[in-house]
Amino acid sequence: MHVVVIGGGVIGTCTAFWLARAGCTVTLLERQPELAAEGSFANGGMLHASHGEPWNSPQAVGQLLAWIGREDSPLLLRPRRLPALVGWGLQFLRHSSRSRHQAATLANTRLARYSLEVMAVIRREAAIQDDGAQAGIAKLFRDQAQLEAATRMSELLQEAGVPFERWTRAQLLAREPALAGCADRLVGALYYPQDASGDACLFTRQLGRYCQTLGVELRTGTAVHALVATGDRIEAALTDQGRLEADQFVLANGPHAPRLLHPLGLRLPIEPVKGYSITLDVRGIDGLPRLPLIDDARKIVVTPLGARLRLAGTAEFAGFDDRIQPRRVRLLIAQLRELLPQREHELAAAPSSAWACLRPMSPDGVPIIGPTRFRNLWLNTGAGHMGWTIAAGAGRLLCDLMSGRQPALSPAAYLPARWL
């Protein structure tokens, strides 16, 4: 069986790996010159089953409306985007009830836990070195009420297999002394010992090279313009390098999947949400965080990656505008300095690079994985902020569905049929 996988980010590459391992002939198409050049290039670096909450929690919806147009907000909705967001936004609101949000959180958590299990298989088999660590993740709180609310959610997730510890401020500083400079603004933390970190770009590119040893054909610099359908089958992908026929097709191209589906009569509700990151070269700088950190109030993450420090955060509903806005970058830098004031001057002098990418967000915040009404067209997209975390598991789940095997994880919550 010849399978064409469209999209060479971490999800598409993991999908190609599992399909090749199952005996398929796989062609992996990526429009950029290299794999992992867009959403997987410089994300937050966290692998967290503990943070599967979609962004449409009942309290977050009210905050989002209050943040419309505010450049200093962690989640920015640009007013010019409002007309195009009406349909998607109504679905987003529809899934923001407490019961639906909780169900979506648990679905993401199950997939994330499964993914971290099978990612270990990939790491061992492909001998991947991605500056990762199994140190857990600490989530910082500045407000007691927010800490209590997060504790209640973590107790729910603990029943689903995600352990956590609640730390006082003193316990947090004992584990992470780098935060001493902002200790007076923190009330405590939640620590998730099974969470991890790693560089998604390093992982994806090393896995891509390993996939070639399994027979996967990598075609970078190849953009897909359309899919050709006859009846209930896709016959070919039309690329800027020519026509490519195959037995099966997988769309793992993130927010760009709807563009290929729309001419086929499929309306997939995926919204691109821009995220930012800054990567600093911190060689020679002492006293930096040893643990990956999430600042709950500021909605940013700080992740050690070997000799680098990755700062990521903010979300921006701006359509397909992936330009780096200097004001948003300055906001991230200011928030890092607030967390680590004693290292402000060293961090200001450190070599750094900023990045922005578009994350594919479904209205319910749950990935879209599985078949379509075209019997040889499959989807693996819509992972939002969870793409790096769920990539290995999403690829394995889709491979099992395509191969007719019984998946280890029920696919029911992720199937495209809920939208198409």
313: which DSSP letter? E
**In-domain check, residue 332:** yes
User: What is the mean pLDDT of the segment spanning 66-93?
Assistant: 78
Phi, psi angles (nearest 5°) of residue 9: -85, -165
Mean pLDDT of the chain: 95
Choice between 212 and 56, residue whose per-residue pLDDT is larger: 212
What is the C-alpha to C-alpha distance for residues 69 and 411, in angstroms, rounded to an integer? 37
> What pLDDT does residue 271 have?
96
Check whether residue 277 and residue 261 sit in a common domain: no
The tokens describing 2, both together, are 């010849």
Closest CA to 92 of 275, 269, 273: 269
Check whether residue 82 and residue 136 sit in a common domain: yes
324: which DSSP letter? P
The tokens describing 47, both together, are 């692998």
Burial class (CB in 10 A: 0-12, 13-18, 19+), 80: exposed
What is the C-alpha to C-alpha distance for residues 234 and 408, in angstroms, rounded to an integer? 28
83 band by pLDDT with thresholds 50, 70 and 90? confident
**In-domain check, residue 218:** yes
pTM, to two decimals:
0.96
**In-domain check, residue 408:** yes
Q: Is the model's pLDDT at 80 over the cut of 90?
A: no
Q: Which domain holds residue 176?
A: 47-96+132-196+271-361
> What pLDDT does residue 112 have?
98
End-of-domain residue from the set 361, 382, 402:
361
For the residues of 43-67, what is the DSSP string, one character each? ---EE-GGG---S--HHHHHHHHHT
What angle separates helix 98-126 from helix 10-21, to the nearest 10 degrees? 60
What is the C-alpha to C-alpha distance for residues 365 and 363, in angstroms, rounded to an integer? 6
**In-domain check, residue 168:** yes
Number of domains comprising the chain: 2
Closest CA to 304 of 288, 321, 324: 288
> What pLDDT does residue 76 have?
76
| 301, β-bridge pairs | 294, 312
What is the C-alpha to C-alpha distance for residues 271 and 90, in angstroms, rounded to an integer? 12
Identity of the amino acid at 218: L
**In-domain check, residue 123:** no
Burial class (CB in 10 A: 0-12, 13-18, 19+), 214: middle
Please give the distance of CA 8 from its chain centroid, rounded to a whole number. 14
66 band by pLDDT with thresholds 50, 70 and 90? low
Summarize pLDDT for 255-272 with one digit per residue, the tens.
999 999 999 999 999 999
> What pLDDT does residue 65 have?
66
Q: Is the model's pLDDT at 77 over the cut of 80?
A: no
Region of poorest pLDDT, from 89-103, 196-210, 288-302: 89-103
User: What is the mean pLDDT of the segment spanning 237-251?
Assistant: 98
The tokens describing 131, both together, are 């500056």
What is the C-alpha to C-alpha distance for residues 249 and 388, in angstroms, rounded to an integer? 22
61 band by pLDDT with thresholds 50, 70 and 90? low
Phi, psi angles (nearest 5°) of residue 137: -135, 140
User: What is the mean pLDDT of the segment spanning 322-326?
Assistant: 92
Assign 32 to helix, strand or coil.
Answer: coil
User: What is the mean pLDDT of the segment spanning 41-68?
Assistant: 84
The tokens describing 147, both together, are 């800490």
| 304, β-bridge pairs | 309
End-of-domain residue from the set 361, 376, 401:
361
Torsion from C-alpha of 375, 213, 306, 35, nearest 10 degrees: -50
CB atoms within 10 A of CB 251: 28
**In-domain check, residue 109:** no
Closest CA to 49 of 100, 3, 112: 112
Q: Is the dihedral of CA 101, 102, 107, 108 positive or negative?
A: positive
End-of-domain residue from the set 312, 346, 361:
361
**In-domain check, residue 101:** no
What angle separates helix 387-403 from helix 98-126, to the nearest 10 degrees? 80
Check whether residue 82 and residue 188 sit in a common domain: yes
Please give the distance of CA 55 from its chain centroid, rounded to a whole number. 13
What is the C-alpha to C-alpha distance for residues 270 and 289, in angstroms, rounded to an integer? 35
What is the C-alpha to C-alpha distance for residues 321 and 415, in angstroms, rounded to an integer? 28
Check whether residue 154 and residue 258 sit in a common domain: no
211: which DSSP letter? H
Check whether residue 258 and residue 276 sit in a common domain: no
Check whether residue 56 and residue 183 sit in a common domain: yes
CATH number, position 157: 3.30.9.10
Summarize pLDDT for 360-380 with one digit per residue, the tens.
999 999 999 999 999 999 999
> What pLDDT does residue 362 have?
97
Q: Distances in Å between the alpha carbon of 363 and those of 2, 54, 57, 90?
A: 32, 9, 12, 8
